[in-house]
Amino acid sequence: MLVKHSVISGLGRLTSHSPSSSSSVLRRQQFLVRTLCGSQIHRPKLIRAMSSTSEADAESVLRTVTPSLDPKRHKGQAGKIAVIGGCREYTGAPYFAAISALKIGADLSHVFCTKDAAPVIKSYSPELIVHPVLEESYSISQLSEEDQRKVQDKVLGEVDKWMERFDCLVIGPGLGRDPFLLECVSKIMLLAKKFNVPFVVDGDGLFLVTNSIDLVHRYPLAVLTPNVNEYKRLVQKVLNCEVDEQNAEDQLRTLAKQIGGVTILRKGKSDLISNGETVKSVSIYGSPRRCGGQGDILSGGVAVFWSWARQLKSDPESPAENPAILGCIAASGLLRKAASLAFTKHKRSTLTSDIIECLGESLEDICPAS
């Protein structure tokens, strides 16, 4: 698991940290000073300030949750992420999510995909650890029911031996909708819940969850990141009505509450985030290009920033906001900034890979490494 972030012991007082951690201390102090508008520390006021429906200060959140590059840390402590996705049709989506996690600052990024997708994803990048373990119906259709169950047990066994090591899973980018594969993935979700491993559900993972809402109901460590279609299907299924743009924030809050307090990041012109209590929006300017794959960057980003934000929980002076919400705000803010930068460079030819190339520079601009 990740190590604890350095703890600050109060405003106006710098504790004796290493040079690398003192910059993070300073950043967090500046965040608190801004949040409190120069007043003394007063937690109820801080909680109120963070809990009303409002545009989030994504840059401040990014400064707060991003850990310093501490030479004392070892590999893995900045995050171990696993993407469950990648099938015959889709190899780009899991790659985008997994490589984005690394480019933002995670130490290790795994992909669990089908056997066909694995060599392709490996060929995109040697940085990713690729497990060719998932099976689709076409490869097991000749088997008896008993043998199919054995295949499923084998898939689960392969994921099980890694599960506890992960700080967060991203379930769904490029997963496809094959029934046998989705049944295995629903069991992987149960496994993650058993070990209290947080997961972000995106893409076809949302198709699965919308049809089996119990998979995430009342699991506080689930973040759903629906796009316009995925959100529409969720609203229809859970609230039994149509999307109401006039009352978008209230409807999102109700939806998150109805699913038992999971966090939902509704993607769109403004990204809206709610856990059934607060609603935050991130509207900073991104890019007018809507090329496929930007949601995959976002899901990988949420996994990393959420893992980092969870470490702040043990910091008595850290923001009172829910880490899942902080993770969503940070990922949305960074993606939009990187998309904007990529667009200034590439204009109409801006692609998802160009945005991924801008993640580092965009984060560096907000939160310098040294």
Ligand X SMILES: NC(=O)C1=CN([C@@H]2O[C@H](COP(=O)(O)OP(=O)(O)OC[C@H]3O[C@@H](n4cnc5c(N)ncnc54)[C@H](OP(=O)(O)O)[C@@H]3O)[C@@H](O)[C@H]2O)[C@@H](O)CC1
Ligand Y SMILES: Nc1ncnc2c1ncn2[C@@H]1O[C@H](COP(=O)(O)OP(=O)(O)OP(=O)(O)O)[C@@H](O)[C@H]1O
Given the rule CB under 6 A, which residues bind ligand X?
A: 90, 92-93, 173-177, 203-204, 227, 229-230, 292-293, 295-296
**Residue 7 to residue 241: CA distance in whole angstroms:** 46
Residue 294 contact partner, candidates Mg ion, ligand X, ligand Y, none, CB within 5 to 8 A by sort of partner? ligand Y
Is 318 marked as a binding-site residue?
Answer: no
| Selected binder of ligand Y within 59, 135, 136, 271 (CB under 6 A) | 271
The interface with ligand Y within residues 196-215 (CB under 6 A) comprises 203
The interface with ligand Y within residues 225-264 (CB under 6 A) comprises 227-228
Place of tokens 């402590």: 77
Give min distance, CB of 83 to ligand X, in A. 10
Handedness of CA 137, 141, 144, 150 (dihedral sign): negative
**Residue 206 to residue 189: CA distance in whole angstroms:** 12
Is 286 a binding residue for ligand Y by CB under 6 A? The answer is yes
Give min distance, CB of 296 to Mg ion, in A. 6
Give min distance, CB of 305 to ligand Y, in A. 13
Helix (H, G, I), strand (E, B), or coil: what is residue 130?
strand
**Residue 46 to residue 8: CA distance in whole angstroms:** 16
Is 307 marked as a binding-site residue?
Answer: no
CB neighbour list of residue 124: distance below 8 Å, 6 or more residues apart? 91, 95, 99
Is 115 marked as a binding-site residue?
Answer: no
Size of residue set near ligand Y by CB under 6 A: 18
- Chain centroid, CA 70 distance in Å: 23
Backbone angles phi, psi at 67, to 5 degrees: -75, 155
CB neighbour list of residue 365: distance below 8 Å, 6 or more residues apart? 337
Is 86 a binding residue for Mg ion by CB under 5 A? The answer is no
**Residue 334 to residue 326: CA distance in whole angstroms:** 12
Residue 174 contact partner, candidates ligand X, Mg ion, ligand Y, none, CB within 5 to 8 A by sort of partner? ligand X
Helices (H), 195-292: 204-211, 228-239, 248-258
Is 240 marked as a binding-site residue?
Answer: no
Is 289 marked as a binding-site residue?
Answer: yes
Is 295 a binding residue for Mg ion by CB under 5 A? The answer is yes
Asked if residue 298 lies in contact with residue 227, where contact means CB atoms within 8 angstroms, the answer is no
Give min distance, CB of 215 to ligand Y, in A. 19
Is 298 a binding residue for ligand Y by CB under 6 A? The answer is yes
CB neighbour list of residue 153: distance below 8 Å, 6 or more residues apart? none
Q: Would you tell me which residues interact with ligand Y (CB under 6 A)? A: 203, 227-228, 267-269, 271, 286, 290, 292-296, 298, 332, 335-336
Q: Would you tell me which residues interact with Mg ion (CB under 5 A)? A: 203, 295
Binding residues for (6S)-NADPHX: 174, 227-233, 296
Binding residues: 174, 227-233, 267-271, 286-296
